Chain A
C-alpha cells in the first residue's frame, strides 16, 4: 500500500476501535476490555500520525525536540496524576484532562490563524473560529469545575451581581469576534478578543453552578471538547479528529442527559445555576 493508503487504513481502524470500545464500555462485564480496545485505537492513530510526519512532511530538528519534549512532559504528568490520584478525586482529574484536551484543540486553531491568517479559506476560518470559541470556553470552564470539586474555588453557587449580564456580554462578544474572524481570518485583534471573551464565558458559565452538580457539568464540557476537536479536524482536514470528535460530542451529550436524569434534574436547570450547596458531603451551612 502507498503511504496515504496506510494512513487512511490506520485512521479507519482507530475509528472502528473507538466505536467498538465505547460500545463495550456500556456494560460492567466488558467495560474494561472496551476501554483497552479504545486505547489500542489511540496507539494506532498516534503511530500513524508520527509515521506521517516521518514520510509525508519534513520536520525540523527544533520541531522534533518540541514534539518529544512536549509528549514526555504532558504524557508523564498525565501518567503520574492518573496513577496517584485518590479514587474520590478522580472526577476533578478527569475535568483537568478535559481542560487540556480542549486547550490543545484551541491551540491548533490559533496556530492556523497566526501562521496562515488571511490565506485561510472561508470553511477553515469558520470552523477555526468555532474551534477557538468552544475550546477556550471549555478550557476555562473545566478548570473552574475541577477547582470546585477540589475545593479551591467555592463549591457553593457563586452568584456575582449582574452575572447573567456578564455571561451574556462575554458570549455575545465572543460570537461577534468569531464572526469577524471568520470573515477576516487575518485579524489578530479578532483572534485575541475571541479567545479572551470565550475564556471569560467559560468561567462565568460554571461559577454559578453548585458543586454537587459538577459531574454533570464536567460531562457536558467533555461533549464540548469533543465538538472542538471535530472542528479542529475540519480546519486541518484530518479525518480521525473529525470522526472521534463527533463521536465524543454526541455520545457525551447523551451521557450528560442520562447523568442529569439519574439525579432527577434537567441539564437546562443545572446550567442555569444557583441551585444547591457546596456538595453532598460538605453539606448545607444554614
Chain B
C-alpha cells in the first residue's frame, strides 16, 4: 500500500465516524431540512468536476466534463438555497 492510499483511507474512516456522531437527537421537524443540508454538502463533487474540466480532452472528455460540472453545480446551488428556504420557517419573525 502506498502512503497516499493509507492516508486517504484514514481520512475516509475518520470522516465516516464523525458523520455517525454529528447527528443526534434531531427533532422530527428538522429531518427533511437536515437531509437537504447533507444533500447540498455532497455537491462538493463540484470540486472534482472543476478539475475534470482541466483534465478533459477530446469530444467525449469535454462532454463528460460539461455534464459533471452542470450536475454538480445544480446540486450545490439548488441544495443550499432550498435548505435555506426550509430553515427560514424556523425564524418566522426574521424573514429575509
Contacts and interface: CB of A to CB of B under 8 A. Distances in A.
Interface of A: 14-15, 18-19, 21-23, 25-29, 31-32, 34-36, 38-39, 42, 45-46, 48-50, 52-53, 57-60, 62-64, 66-67, 69-71, 73-79, 81-83, 85, 87, 90-91, 93-94, 97-98, 100-101, 103-105, 107-108, 110-111, 114-115, 123, 215, 218-219, 222, 225-226, 229-230, 232-234, 236-255, 258-259, 262
Given A14-B44, A42-B41, A53-B51, A82 B77 contact: yes
A215 B28 CA distance: 12
A31 B83 CA distance: 10
Nearest to A100: B71
Contacts, number: 357
16 contacts: A22-B22, A26-B26, A35-B37, A39-B40, A53-B51, A73-B73, A79-B77, A79-B81, A94-B82, A114-B61, A222-B39, A236-B48, A239-B11, A248-B19, A251-B23, A259-B35
Given A79-B81, A241-B44, A254-B20, A46 B11 contact: no
B82 A93 contact: yes
A226 B37 CA distance: 12
B42 A245 contact: yes
Question: Do most interface residues of chain A lie in helix, strand or loop, or is the interface mixed?
Answer: helix
A53 B48 contact: no
A90 B90 contact: no
A249 B62 contact: no
Interface in B1-21: 4-5, 8-9, 11-20
Given A63-B62, A244-B42, A78 B69 contact: no
